[in-house]
């Protein structure tokens, strides 16, 4: 009984020793500090500033009117009254309008064909409005299209009302009243929809890159010291993984609080979640990220290789999270791949909590999946650490790995 207690105490002491050593390595490496701290502080603010306007207003539009009728003038008047676009003038021809777009004096062209008014007045015939947009910024295209569609629907409603005005009606007003009420994203803006996912992903990617750089630094020290890393303790693979995980969690306490709670407050993103429950959700997420990063480090051959090997994964993880394409529309293969990424579950849970006010209990299945990933990646990270240590002992170093022993 006493021996077991002593072994458990010694095991915990080794975990503590690995954590202290890892913290020293982190704060002694400028590159790792940049990834762990500076990236988490700067990137959320940078992305938030880029999308801070939520949606562009008064996108400049020029009109080419080949019909020159009262209907087209009314259409332009209503279009200019929308908050999405602003009509800056008329162009005599499409060539002149294209020149204005090329000179960035406007970003969209609305063209009325010569038969627009005649088509409107003939029953059963459909009139057409041509819209040309500068696609360099998708939000401008979206706003122009929304404004034109809204005006078309409004004019179409007036025309239909005038057509059936002779029919006796016993009920006044419209039969159905359509009213749009946004629940979570009340601003209906791009930033409130996209940034919560990006904030969660920043924590994961910064940790992956920082852990990769730490591992690359260890390999570099072995090359300089005959296969021996003087900064590594001689512990088992499981103890090493757990000790490093504890160190990463301690480092990420402030970045997590800042990224998930303060940045949304700074930029007025949806904040309907309970801060304590958000922190509780982030705990298994950070553990899964730390273990996931320690699994991926088997791909790293040096400090510089971190950028080549792991940076490109950011784009893939964004798509797999479902922010740009719904996950239910993905194939079963990509859904399975996305399920193995911690940010996929954490982003979904964070958006539901912050935007829709969901509780941690409501996100129970997602929370369970994050803890399940912690268990899976604890096994894979331990095997990865064992594989790396064995490869170093048998291949890279001429003698068994040496180091301090607790």
Q: Which residue has the tokens 């105490």?
A: 9
pLDDT, residue 189, reads: 63
377 against 190, higher pLDDT = 377
168 against 58, higher pLDDT = 58
The pTM of the whole model exceeds 0.75: no
Check whether 375 has a pLDDT greater than 50.
yes
Check whether 4 has a pLDDT greater than 60.
no
pLDDT, residue 405, reads: 37
Would you say 366 and 345 are in contact if contact means Cβ atoms under 8 Å apart?
A: yes
Check whether 191 has a pLDDT greater than 70.
no
Mean pLDDT score of the chain: 82
309-342 tens-digit pLDDT: 777 778 888 888 887 778 888 889 999 999 999 9
Pairwise CA distance, residues 388 & 362, whole Å: 40
370 against 387, higher pLDDT = 370
Cα–Cα–Cα angle for 244, 246, 247, nearest 5°? 65
Percent of the chain with pLDDT over 90: 31
Strand order in the sheet with 108-112: 85-90, 59-65, 108-112, 130-133
Would you say 44 and 199 are in contact if contact means Cβ atoms under 8 Å apart?
A: yes
286 against 220, higher pLDDT = 286
Residue 290 in tokens? 């730390």
132 strand-pairing partners: 109
Residue 337 in tokens? 């791949």
At residue 168 the predicted structure's pLDDT band, cuts being 50, 70 and 90, is low
CA 357 from centre of chain: 19
Residue 235 in tokens? 């512990």
Render the burial of 56-94: b for 16+ CB within 10 Å, e for the rest: beebbbbbbbebebebbeebbebbbebebbbbbeebeee
At residue 2 the predicted structure's pLDDT band, cuts being 50, 70 and 90, is very low
Neighbouring CB atoms inside 10 A of 327's CB total 16
321 against 160, higher pLDDT = 321
- CA dihedral sign, ordered 83, 89, 94, 99: negative
56 against 4, higher pLDDT = 56
Where is average pLDDT lowest: 169-183, 226-240, 336-350? 169-183
DSSP output for 208-260: HHHHHHHHHHHHHHHHHTTT--TT-B---HHHHHHHHHHHHHHHTHHHHHIII
Pairwise CA distance, residues 313 & 295, whole Å: 14
pLDDT, residue 156, reads: 79
The helix (H) or strand (E) run that includes residue 267 is: none
| Average pLDDT of span 101-116 | 89
Neighbouring CB atoms inside 10 A of 10's CB total 11
The helix (H) or strand (E) run that includes residue 275 is: helix 275-296
| Average pLDDT of span 185-203 | 77
| Average pLDDT of span 44-67 | 80
pLDDT, residue 307, reads: 77
Pairwise CA distance, residues 265 & 109, whole Å: 38
Check whether 243 has a pLDDT greater than 80.
yes
At residue 343 the predicted structure's pLDDT band, cuts being 50, 70 and 90, is very high
pLDDT, residue 398, reads: 39
| Average pLDDT of span 234-250 | 91
DSSP output for 78-109: HHHHSSSEEEEEE-SSHHHHHHHHHTTS-SEE
DSSP output for 144-159: HHHHHHHHHHHHHHHH
Domain ranges of the chain: 11-52+188-402, 59-166
Residue 391 in tokens? 């490869």
User: Strand 85-90 and strand 59-65: pairing?
Assistant: parallel
**Reduced to 3 states, what is the DSSP secondary structure of residue 403?**
coil
Would you say 244 and 320 are in contact if contact means Cβ atoms under 8 Å apart?
A: no
90 strand-pairing partners: 63
237 against 140, higher pLDDT = 237
Pairwise CA distance, residues 374 & 342, whole Å: 9
Tell me the CATH class for 59-166: alpha beta
Half-sphere exposure of 159 toward its Cβ, with a 13 Å CA cutoff?
A: 19
pLDDT, residue 136, reads: 66
| Average pLDDT of span 25-35 | 90
Check whether 195 has a pLDDT greater than 70.
yes
């Amino acid at each position: 009984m006493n021996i077991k207690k002593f072994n458990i105490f010694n095991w915990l002491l080794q975990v503590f020793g690995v954590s202290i050593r890892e913290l020293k390595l982190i704060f002694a490496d400028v590159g790792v500090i940049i990834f762990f701290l500076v990236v988490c502080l700067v990137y959320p603010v940078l992305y938030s500033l880029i999308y801070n306007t939520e949606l562009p207003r008064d996108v400049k539009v020029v009109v080419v009117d080949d019909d020159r009728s009262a209907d087209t003038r009314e259409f332009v008047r209503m279009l200019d009254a929308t908050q999405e676009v602003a009509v800056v003038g008329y162009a005599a021809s499409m060539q002149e309008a294209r020149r204005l777009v090329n000179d960035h004096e406007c970003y969209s062209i609305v063209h009325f064909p010569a038969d627009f008014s005649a088509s409107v007045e003939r029953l059963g015939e459909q009139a057409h409005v041509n819209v040309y947009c500068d696609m360099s910024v998708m939000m401008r295209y979206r706003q122009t299209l929304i404004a034109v569609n809204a005006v078309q629907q409004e004019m179409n409603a007036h025309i239909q009302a005038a057509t059936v005005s002779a029919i006796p009606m016993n009920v006044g007003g419209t039969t159905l009243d359509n009213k749009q009420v946004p629940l979570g994203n009340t601003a209906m803006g791009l930033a409130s929809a996209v940034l919560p996912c990006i904030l969660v992903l920043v924590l994961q990617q910064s940790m992956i890159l920082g852990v990769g750089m730490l591992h690359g630094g260890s390999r570099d020290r072995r090359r300089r010291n005959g296969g021996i890393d003087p900064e590594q303790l001689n512990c088992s693979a499981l103890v090493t993984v757990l000790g490093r995980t504890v160190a990463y969690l301690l480092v990420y306490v402030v970045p997590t609080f800042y990224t998930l709670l303060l940045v949304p407050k700074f930029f007025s993103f949806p904040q309907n979640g309970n801060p304590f429950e958000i922190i509780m959700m982030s705990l298994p997420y950070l553990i899964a990220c730390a273990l996931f990063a320690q699994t991926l480090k088997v791909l790293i051959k040096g400090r510089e290789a971190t950028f080549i090997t792991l940076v490109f994964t950011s784009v893939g993880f964004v798509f797999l999270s479902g922010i740009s394409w719904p996950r239910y529309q993905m194939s079963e293969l990509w859904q399975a791949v996305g399920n193995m990424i911690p940010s996929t579950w954490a982003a979904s849970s964070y958006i539901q909590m912050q935007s829709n006010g969901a509780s941690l209990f409501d996100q129970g299945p997602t929370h369970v999946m994050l803890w399940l990933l912690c268990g899976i990646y604890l096994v894979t990270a331990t095997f990865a650490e064992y594989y790396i240590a064995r490869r170093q002992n048998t291949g890279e170093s001429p003698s068994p790995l040496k180091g301090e022993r607790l």
